[in-house]
């Protein structure tokens, strides 16, 4: 999939009458230290979206801690600089829907023209949050057979989820049925659907939630 294609992220979340909006964007947090473990304050941290080229620049606080928030799902590069230390780069940091990933930077003494690049395939630590869900990645979106190319059928891959409407009416663009799934005991059509964090739902029969749009599978980056 071309990096220039619009990437949509879908989030299926439990609908509660008093619930606040679900944030689908993620964040990268971490601490900047020297080789002895001492905190480095006011270090320049740059978080770069590799596909889009967008940058978020910030500085570590007095305890060396930084946080880059509201990041769209995708791959990022984290660069850290401080006077008297080598340039630190952590590449290929993957952010998924509502992720909170920890990337710590240990700076080595040296000139700013020198760079230490970490390219290990080991996944960064994901800090636990109260958010629960299963991410369906782009490979499964592209490879799994989907009737009429309807990505909402992937809802059924998650544990505790079952289609609870009439199977004969599970048509690809039937508004009251394409998200007719019961989740962990809740009734069907009681969930909210968002596209890149923006609501994509309507109501039917006064108290049922339905999807207003079915995105083509070739522009879906991931699904949760």
Query: Comparing 124 with 141, which gets the higher pLDDT?
Result: 141
**73 phi and psi angles, rounded to 5 deg:** -55, 140
Tell me which residue of 64, 143, 135 sits closest to 105, measured CA to CA: 64
- pLDDT for the residue numbered 13: 40
Residue 9 CA to residue 69 CA, distance in Å, equals 17
Question: Which whole-number Å values give the CA distances from 58 to 12, 64, 82, 199, 212, in the listed order?
Answer: 31, 12, 12, 30, 38
Residue 197 pLDDT exceeds 60: yes
pLDDT tens per residue across span 15-73: 333 333 457 788 999 999 999 999 999 999 999 999 889 999 999 999 999 999 999 88
pLDDT tens per residue across span 96-131: 888 899 999 999 998 767 777 776 555 555 554 555
- pLDDT for the residue numbered 63: 96
């Amino acid at each position: 999939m071309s990096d220039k294609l619009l990437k949509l992220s879908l989030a299926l979340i439990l609908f509660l009458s008093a619930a606040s909006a679900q944030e689908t964007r993620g964040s990268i947090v971490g601490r900047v230290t020297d080789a002895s473990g001492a905190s480095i304050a006011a270090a320049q941290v740059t978080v770069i979206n590799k596909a889009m080229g967008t940058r978020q620049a910030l500085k570590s606080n007095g305890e060396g801690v930084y946080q880059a928030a509201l990041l769209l799902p995708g791959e990022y590069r984290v660069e850290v600089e401080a006077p008297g230390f080598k340039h630190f780069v952590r590449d290929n940091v993957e952010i998924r829907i509502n992720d909170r990933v920890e990337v710590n930077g240990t700076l080595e003494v040296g000139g700013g023209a020198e760079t230490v690049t970490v390219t290990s395939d080991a996944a960064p630590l994901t800090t636990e949050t109260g958010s629960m869900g299963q991410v369906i990645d782009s490979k499964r979106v592209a490879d799994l057979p989907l009737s009429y190319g309807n990505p909402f059928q992937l809802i059924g891959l998650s544990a505790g989820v079952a289609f609870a409407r009439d199977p004969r009416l599970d048509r690809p663009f039937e508004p009251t049925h394409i998200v007719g799934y019961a989740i962990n005991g809740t009734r069907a059509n009681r969930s909210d659907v968002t596209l890149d964090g923006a609501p994509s739902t309507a109501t039917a029969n006064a108290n049922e939630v339905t999807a207003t749009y079915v995105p083509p599978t070739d522009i879906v980056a991931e699904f949760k």
